[in-house]
Amino acid sequence: MDRIACAWLIRKHVDPDATFVFIKRGSDYKEMDGIAFDIGGANLSHKRGKCSFCTILKEYTNN
């Protein structure tokens, strides 16, 4: 659910032209182009008990 909600949030409030690539578990997202989200270790992931959606919301909106 969080991943789908993140995609909606990104398209609605961050980048309406964003494209999304889902990678295989264990892939190194750091070697890929773009901004990773909802992946362990990524800047836009779960933090301090909050889901990725909340992290993106805090980073890219005034909410």
The 10s digit of each residue's pLDDT in 11-53 is 998 899 999 988 888 888 888 888 888 888 888 888 888 899 9
pLDDT at residue 45, as a whole number: 87
* Residue 48 per-residue DSSP state: T
Contact 45, 39 (CB under 8 A): yes
Tokens read off for 40 = 């362990």
In this predicted structure, the answer to whether residue 63 has a pLDDT above a threshold of 70 is no
Residue 44 burial by CB count (10 A; 0-12/13-18/19+): exposed, middle or buried?
buried
The residue with greater pLDDT, 8 or 38, is: 8
* Residue 45 per-residue DSSP state: S
- Which residue in 36, 2, 31 sits closest to 21, CA to CA? 36
| pTM exceeds cut of 0.85 | no
pLDDT at residue 15, as a whole number: 92
